[in-house]
Amino acid sequence: MSAEKIIEEKKQGQALITEPINGNGKKLFIESYGCQMNLNDSEIVASILTNEGFNTTQILEEADLVLVNTCSIREKAEQTIRKRLQKYNAVKKDSNKKMKIGVLGCMAERLKTKFLEEEKMVDLVVGPDAYRDLPNLIEEIEAGRNAVNVLLSKEETYADVSPVRLNSNGVSAFVSITRGCDNMCTFCVVPFTRGRERSRDPQSVLKEIRGLFDQNFKEVTLLGQNVDSYLWYGGGLKKDFVRASEIAKATAVDFAQLLDMCATEFPKTRFRFATSNPQDMSLDVIHTMAKHKNICKYIHLPVQSGSTKILQGMNRQHTREEYLELVDNIFKIIPDCALSQDIITGFCGETEEDHQETLSLMEHVKYDFGFMFAYSERPGTLASKKMEDDIPLATKKRRLTEIIALQQEHSHYRTKQHVGKVEEVLIEGTSKKSDVHWKGRNTQNTVVVFPKENYGIGDFVNVKIEDCTSATLLGKAVGYSENNWH
């Protein structure tokens, strides 16, 4: 498992807290599993419930309402959450009989009322598009009834809900720009749990960024399952764009334009974005990245497999050659751009040759970071209906180990390329390993650690990179960067 992956997994399932405010005296304990979208959704939920008077708590035992925002992407994610639900139920039985328990997010959407009927572990089930209904649903459960809302929406983007930043470092924040996914990759449960793709009004995106800027946030990550597919034409599903009026089509805003608007209006804010799907990433986006210093030179560009045959089985809409052409274009336009991948090993029908093609594609790209997984069949997906999960677990795992080992080599190779350079770093907080060192990130998203001196959290600092470990850069600050502001 890569260092990045280990860190990602450790971050999962944290209890999320905000500063207490005066309210109805009720305490909310909210935990989040899964992707960054889920974390951001938990911030939306916290905002809705803060308006209802809830205070957040980190102490499970004292909570009146326990919410877990869940992930369905792999079976293991669901198992982890089931264990957490057992833990909540044990606490409820032992010490807090009045506690109410709710599941949010992808697992709620996938399993719907099954949670209430079969498992009897929860009072409340709410899908990703139904969080505005939480106040009503909570009234229901307080009256002793179970409550469910798993309706998916064509319109909902929570554009007007101002997220309560949970466990924030005060420096970087997420802003969602699209919801749902229309790609229909055959392995993926997301189109079923998060519905069809829709984009958020660019004015509401800019307004949220303005709010973050006013609170001194320095970095914004634009989020979506597929950000490059962003398209605002006055509201509605992406798939309905073809039926939009001529004027709506002519004034539509795509992702390259949104990125340009953000970077131009907030020249002192750093922008990142995730996730990019190769078939939707346009050259315009890459040129926009190159044009603006404040758009970070890092693209998370999942490939899933290096074999065109497997990519077809996955319904990925691009070949190995098309992916490599995109990568070559990225490096041509932005030579120092960092890239990361998602790869699945042991998808249906994957031969040893297919696996070798994934390894050779990695050799070509030499990704900076990677997130790698063994294929996990998900009920309801096209692959589960039409294809046989025919690769033995031991083979999936062996291929995964080989891919992780190669990624570690490449990460180390890429990390070493920074040594000797002076790079701009945004300070995020104290290094985990040393109280006297800051940690931050360079534009490529590599973690940089250096002595604190008189610099502070949220400062943009130029750091001379002197050394590195396999995934971290070590250096010394040589002064504030020209971008520094308070």
Could you list the residues that contact ligand 5AD (CB under 6 A)?
73-74, 187-188, 302, 304, 342, 344, 373, 375-376, 378
Q: Which residue of this chain has its Cβ atom nearest to ligand 5AD in the complex?
A: 342
Q: Which is nearer to ligand 5AD, 46 or 81 (CB)?
A: 81
In whole angstroms, how close is the CB of 478 to ligand 5AD at the nearest point?
38
In whole angstroms, how close is the CB of 166 to ligand 5AD at the nearest point?
21
H-run or E-run covering 479: strand 472-480
Query: Which residue is associated with the tokens 């509401």?
Result: 204
In whole angstroms, how close is the CB of 36 to ligand SF4 at the nearest point?
8
Binding partner of residue 238 among ligand SF4, ligand 5AD, none, CB cut-off 5 to 8 Å per kind: none
Binding partner of residue 194 among ligand SF4, ligand 5AD, none, CB cut-off 5 to 8 Å per kind: ligand SF4
Q: Which is nearer to ligand SF4, 124 or 463 (CB)?
A: 124
**What interhelical angle do 393-416 and 352-365 show, nearest 10?**
10
Q: Which is nearer to ligand 5AD, 302 or 306 (CB)?
A: 302
Report the alpha-carbon distance of residue 320 to residue 308 in Å, rounded. 5
Pull the structure tokens for residue 323: 């992916």
Q: Which is nearer to ligand 5AD, 263 or 338 (CB)?
A: 338
Kindly report the number of other CB atoms within 10 A of residue 404's CB atom.
Answer: 17
How many DSSP H helices and E strands does the chain contain? 16, 22
In whole angstroms, how close is the CB of 301 to ligand 5AD at the nearest point?
10
Q: What is the 3-state secondary structure (H, E, C) of 181-215?
A: CCCCCCCCCHHHHHCCCEECCHHHHHHHHHHHHHC
Report the alpha-carbon distance of residue 478 to residue 464 in Å, rounded. 7
In whole angstroms, how close is the CB of 170 to ligand 5AD at the nearest point?
27
Environment class of residue 384 by beta-carbon count within 10 Å: exposed (0-12), middle (13-18) or buried (19+)? middle
Letters for 146-185 (x = contact with ligand SF4 by CB under 6 A, - = none) are ----------------------------------------
Residue type, 182: D
Binding partner of residue 71 among ligand 5AD, ligand SF4, none, CB cut-off 5 to 8 Å per kind: ligand SF4
In whole angstroms, how close is the CB of 336 to ligand 5AD at the nearest point?
24
- φ and ψ at residue 428, rounded to 5 degrees: -105, -25
Number of residues that bind ligand SF4 (CB under 6 A): 13
Task: Give the largest CA-CA distance in the chain.
Answer: 65
Binding partner of residue 373 among ligand 5AD, ligand SF4, none, CB cut-off 5 to 8 Å per kind: ligand 5AD
Asked if 238 and 186 count as a contact pair (C-beta separation under 8 A), the reply is no
Residues in 89-128 that interact with ligand SF4 by CB under 6 A: 105-106
224 lines the binding site for ligand SF4 (CB under 6 A): no
Q: Quote the distance between the C-alpha of residue 352 and its chain's center.
A: 31
Q: Which is nearer to ligand SF4, 149 or 193 (CB)?
A: 193
In whole angstroms, how close is the CB of 76 to ligand 5AD at the nearest point?
9
Report the alpha-carbon distance of residue 333 to residue 133 in Å, rounded. 46
For residue 275, say if its preceding peptide bond is cis, omega within 30 degrees of 0: yes
327 lines the binding site for ligand SF4 (CB under 6 A): no
Binding partner of residue 105 among ligand SF4, ligand 5AD, none, CB cut-off 5 to 8 Å per kind: ligand SF4
Alpha-carbon distances of 42 from 36, 52, 259, rounded to whole Å: 10, 15, 24
In whole angstroms, how close is the CB of 190 to ligand SF4 at the nearest point?
4
Give residues with Cβ within 8 angstroms of 4, minimum separation 6.
340, 369, 370, 371, 411, 471
In whole angstroms, how close is the CB of 71 to ligand SF4 at the nearest point?
3
Q: Which is nearer to ligand 5AD, 91 or 344 (CB)?
A: 344
Out of 38, 149, 288, 411, which residue is the one contacting ligand SF4 (CB under 6 A)? 38
Q: Which residue of this chain has its Cβ atom nearest to ligand SF4 in the complex?
A: 34
Alpha-carbon distances of 308 from 275, 353, 401, rounded to whole Å: 21, 11, 22
471 lines the binding site for ligand SF4 (CB under 6 A): no
Q: What is the 3-state secondary structure (H, E, C) of 41-71?
A: HHHHHHHHHHHCCCEECCCHHHCCEEEEEEC
Q: Which is nearer to ligand SF4, 108 or 327 (CB)?
A: 108
In whole angstroms, how close is the CB of 388 to ligand SF4 at the nearest point?
23
193 lines the binding site for ligand SF4 (CB under 6 A): yes
Out of 65, 111, 185, 189, which residue is the one contacting ligand SF4 (CB under 6 A)? 189
Residues in 44-73 that interact with ligand SF4 by CB under 6 A: 71-73
194 lines the binding site for ligand SF4 (CB under 6 A): yes
Binding partner of residue 57 among ligand SF4, ligand 5AD, none, CB cut-off 5 to 8 Å per kind: none
Pull the structure tokens for residue 74: 């792999």
Q: What is the 3-state secondary structure (H, E, C) of 307-344?
A: CHHHHHHCCCCCCHHHHHHHHHHHHHHCCCCEEEEEEE
